Amino acid sequence: MLQEVRVGFLPELKDSRGEEILYEIRHALGIRSVNRIRTVKVYRFEGISAEAARFLAERLLCEDVFQEYRLNAPLVTDADRLVEVAYRPGVMNPEAGSLLKAAADLGIAGLRAADSSMEYAFYGGLGDEELELILRRLLVNETIQHVVTEKPKTLLLGGEPGRTEIIPIREMTDEELLGLSRDRLFLNLEEMRLIQQHFRELGRDPTDAEVEVLAQTWSEHCVHKTFKARIIVDGVEKKPFLTRLREATARVARKDLVLSAFVDNSGVMAFYEGWALCGKVETHNAPSAIEPYGGAATGSGGVFRDIMGTGQGAKVIASTDIFCFAPPDTPAAAVPPGCLHPHYLLRRVVAGVRDYGNRMGIPTNNGSVHFHPDFRAKPTVIVGAYGLIPAAQAQKGWPVPGDAVVVVGGRTGRDGIHGATFSSAAMTDRTQSVNAQAVQIGHPIEEKRMADALLVARDEGLIRAITDCGAGGFASAVGEMGAETGARIYLDRAPVKYSGLAPWEILLSESQERMVAAVAPENLPRFFEICREHNVEATVLGEFTATGRFEAYYGDEKVLDLTMDFLHHGLPQRLLTCSYRDPAPQEDPDVPLPQDWEETCCRVLAHLNVCSKEPIVRVYDHGVQGTNALPPYGGVRGDGPNDAVVLTPLLGKPYGMIIAHGLNPVLNRIDPYWGGLWAATEAVANAVAVGANPEELVLIDNFIWPVPEGEFLAQLDRAVDACVDFSVALGLPFISGKDSLSSTYRGRGTVIHIPPVLCVSVFGRVPDVGKTVSADLKEPGSLLVLVGERREEEMGGSVYYDLHGALGKNIPRINLARLRETLGALHRAIGAGMVRACHDISEGGLLAALAEMCFGGELGAAIEIPAALRPDFFLFNETAGCFVVELEPEADPALLFAGLPCRVLGRTLAAPELRVLQSGRPLFAVPLERLRAAYCRPMKEVFGA
C-alpha cells in the first residue's frame, strides 16, 4: 500500500508558488477568471507504514511554523478545480533519491520507493478550455509530465531491457536513409551514405547503438562540422573558421599566461601562487526553447561540469548567464506554433539558472539580457562557468591502457536522449512533441556532492583524466577519452534509474550529473572510499584498451564495435560555399531632434536593451562563496550596475579575477564584421573599466547563428574574421569557444532566423583588488571626462534609432589601434588611483552610462555638448570602447590621457538631477528619480518586483 503525505502552506499565509503561477496565468496567458491558487506537495512512499510516513511528514517534509500536512487524505477540499501534475513513470524525479536518502538517515527501514508531485488548487470560474490552456502552456510538459487521473498502485517500475536492433542500412535507398535520419540522427544524405558504405565494406549491418553513436559523434554540436569545413567565400577559398581562431591565438598567446587553449573542456590561464583559472561558456538554446526551466538549469549544470572536467578537475567559482528573448509583451498571435511565449520563457529560464546555481552554492554574478522580436521562436540561452585549479593539474589528462572507466554521480535514464543531434537541427513546429525527450532533468544537489568528491580525489592524485557526460552521454565521454587508445565498456553495469532501457539508450543518454574518470586500478579502492564518504555513486563501467576500437557489451552481447579512426576521422571535411551580400538598409533614417528631451531620455532608459535587470540579478546568490569583491550592482542603494564582476578566489589574498562579456545581436543584422568587433570591444572594455590590465585577459567566443546556409554562412565568415582581427590587433587570445548553428525556425509556412549572436566573454587576473573601481559616482564636484574615439554620426543599430522604428546602416566602427592605446591608458590611470569611477558606453549611449553612474552614487551631473555636434547623436551614440570617467576636480585629463581622444564633459552635482547644456545654454534637466523610475519599470513589470 502506498502512503501519501500532502504538504501545503497554512491557508492564512501567502502561497509563493501559487502567486507565481497566478502571475503567469494573467500576464502570459491573459486569463483573468482565476483569483487564487494554492499549491500542495504530494509525497508517496512504498514499503512503509502509516506511522513511518507520519514520522517523515513531521520530521522531514512539513515546517509546522508555516505549513500543514495531511496523511492519506486531501489537504484542499474547497477549490473549484484541483489538478495533480507528476513526472511520467520512468522520468527522473530529482526529489526521489533525496527522499530515499533522507528517510534512511532518519532510520526508516523498508522504504522501497518514493515519489513526489504537485497539486494545484484553482479558485474562480475557470472554464475547461482555460484550464486546458493553463496546463498545456504553463504546468505540464506533456513528454515528461502528466495529469494524474488515477492514484498509482505502485512506484516500482519494471520492464525488460529493450533489444538491440540491427539496422538494415546496406540495402536502404536514399529516401529510406533520409527517413532514418529525419527525427533521430539529423545527418545529411552524404553522411548517411558514408555510414552505409562503411558497413557494406565490413560486410554487415550496424546495430542501433552503432548508428546512434556515429550520429552523435558526427553531429554539428559535437564535431563542429561547419567550423572545421573548407570554405569558399565569393570564389576565394579561406581557412576553416576554427583554424583561423586557433592560429590567431597561437600568434598572440603568452606561454606564461595561457596554459591550455581549445584542447579541454575549458580554457585555462595562469593565476597566482601556483593556481590557474579556467573558463567555458556554453549554450542551451534548443532545450530551453521547449522546456525553459529544465533546459536552462541543466545548461548551468552542464557548463559547471565542463569546469569540473578540466585538467584533473577544477572547482567551480562563478556562473554567468546571457539571454536573448523576444519582448515579454509580444502578442500571443506572433508566437509561432510549437513555441512558448517569451514572457514565460524569460521567467522560467531565469528560475532554472537561479535554482541550479543557488542550490550548488555557485555565485551567478555576471550576465545580461537582450531583446529582439526575432527571438520569439527560439531564444538564445548562454550559460558560463569559471573555475580555480592548481596549475600543475590544469593540463588535459589522457588515459592509458588498463585504466578503469569509472562513471561517477547520477544514474542513467531515458531523459536527455538525442540531445546532441536534436540541438544540431533547426527548430520546427514539431520540435516540442518529437524532441522533448532531449530535455534533461537536473539535480544540483547530486552534482554538488559529486563536485566535492572529485576535488578530494584530484588533490590525492587519483584521477588520470576526467570529462563530463555531456552531449552523447557515455558515447561521447568514453569515445573521446579513448580516442587515441580504445575503450571497452559494459552497459549492463551502468547504474540506471529504472529497468527497461535499451542498450543504445544507456549509451546515448544525457542524464545529468554524471562524469567519467580514468582511474588506475591501484587507485580504485581509495577513489570509491571518497565517493562513499560524499554519498556519491561510482561504478567501473569498463576499461581503456590498446585496440583502437570502441566496444560496448550488454551482458554477453556486443552491441557496439567501431574503430576509433572511423568514429572520429571517418567524417570528411565539408566544403562550403557562399557569397556575402550586405543585409543592411541603404540609408540611415532622417531622425528629427527630440521635442521633449526628458521623455526621450526616459524612453531610452526604459528600452528593454538598456533598462535595469536588477530583479533578475537579485534572485541569484552572487556572494555565496565569499569571494565577491565587486558585485553586479553597487552604489548607495545597490542599484547602480557595474561593468564586470571582481572576485577574490583565494580567500585572504588580494588577487582578483575579473569576468565580463559583450554582445549586440542588432548590430550583426547590419554588418556582422563591425558588429563582431563591437561585441569583442564591449567585453574587454567592461573588464578594463573596473581595473583589468588588458594584457592579462583571455577571451571566449560563442557563435549562436541561424542555420549556416547562403548569406548566413557568409555573415558567420565575417564575424570570425572580426574575432581574428581583434585578437591579433589587441594581443588577446581566444582560449575556448562554442558554436551553436541551428537557431532557425521552420514551420507551417513560417521561417524565422534569429539575429546572429556573437557573444565574447573575457576573464583575467589582477594582483590587487584594492586597485579596481566601480561605476557609481563618488563625490560632488568631480570632473567627468569622455575617453575614447567615436564618430557621433555612427548611429546604426542604436536604441535611439529603434525608438524611431529604424535600424540604420552606419554602425559604430572600432579603430583597433586607437582602442588598444585607450585601454592601456585607462588601466594605468586606474592603477595609479587617479580614477574615482568609470563606466563604459554601450546600449543607450553616453546618456544611459551617465544616468547609471548617477543612480549608483546618488549624485547628479551637469555636462555640456559641443556646439558643432547634434545633441541627440552626442548623447545616444553607442560606440564601444569609450568611457565616462570620474576624476578628482584638479585632475588634468589631457595629461592623463595624452594623445588620446578625450573630452571634458562637466562635473558631478550634489543635486539629484541630470543637466545638459549646449553652447552654454540649458538644453534640458531631468530629475534622477524620473529617470530611475523609467529605468526600473520594465523588468519590475515582468517579475512583479
Q: Which residues are catalytic?
A: 221, 284
Distance CA 298, CA 103 (A): 27
Question: What are the backbone angles phi and psi of residue 67, rounded to the nearest 5°?
Answer: -130, 165
- 537 is annotated as contributing to ligand binding: no
Q: Which set of grid coordinates corresponds to residue 883?
A: 568611457
Cα angle for residues 521, 522, 524 (degrees, 5° grid): 65
Angle 713-718-719 from CA coordinates, rounded to 5°: 95
Pairing outcome for strands 404-409 and 230-233: unpaired
Q: What is the rounded CA–CA span in Å between residue 244 and residue 720?
A: 8
User: In DSSP terms, which residues pair with 766 in a beta bridge?
Assistant: 656
Q: Which residue has the cell 546512434?
A: 212
Sheet of 2-9, strands arranged across: 67-71, 2-9, 34-46, 113-124, 81-87, 145-147
Q: What beta strand segments (E) does 80-203 contain?
A: 81-87, 113-124, 145-147
Residue-wise over 159-182: b if at least 16 C-beta within 10 A, else e? eebeebbebebbebeeeebeebbe
Distance CA(432)–CA(346), nearest Å, equals: 18
- Which residue in 429, 384, 443, 427 sits closest to 287, CA to CA? 427
Q: Name the DSSP letter for residue 754.
A: P
Q: Which residues contact 16 (CB under 8 A, 6 or more apart)?
A: none
736 is in an annotated binding site: no
Beta bridge partners of 367: 321
Distances (CA, A) of 501 to 88, 417, 563: 15, 11, 25
260 labeled part of a ligand binding site: no
DSSP 302: H
Closest CA to 470 of 416, 542, 413: 416
> 588 labelled as ligand-binding?
no
- Per the CB < 8 A criterion, the answer to whether 510 and 440 are in contact is yes
What is the length of the chain? 945
The one-character DSSP state at 310 is S
**Amino acid letter for position 723:** C
Does 512 show up as a binding residue in the annotation? yes
Residue 15 labelled as part of a binding site = no
Point out which residues pair with 45 in neighbouring strands: 3, 114
Residues whose CB is less than 8 angstroms from the CB of residue 551 and which lie 6 or more positions away in sequence, other chains included = 486, 487, 488, 489, 545, 558, 560, 561
Cα gap 743→704, rounded to integer Å: 7
907 appears as a binding residue in the annotation: no
How many Cα atoms within 13 Å fall on the side-chain side of residue 87? 20
Distance CA 568, CA 900 (A): 51
Report d(CA 914, CA 894) in Å as an integer.
Answer: 25
Non-local CB neighbours of 876 within 8 Å, separated by 6+ positions = 604, 795, 798, 799, 800, 844, 845, 846, 847
The three three-digit cell numbers of residue 165, written as one number: 536492433
Spell 298-307 as b/e; 16+ CB within 10 A means b: bbbbbbbbbb
Could you tell me how many helices (H) and strands (E) the chain has, helices first? 31, 40
Integer Cα distance of 859 and 776 in angstroms: 9
Per the DSSP assignment, residues forming a β-bridge with 3 are 45
CA 609 to chain centre: 18
Nearest-angstrom CA–CA distance, 917 and 901: 21
Q: Is 842 annotated as a binding residue?
A: no
| Residue 921 three-state SS | strand
* 3-state secondary structure at position 380: strand
- Ligand-binding site membership of 499 (annotated): no
On whether 282 is known to bind a ligand per the annotation, the reply is: yes
CB–CB of 158/500 below 8 Å?
Answer: yes
| Binding-site annotation: residue ranges for substrate | 305, 440, 510-512, 740
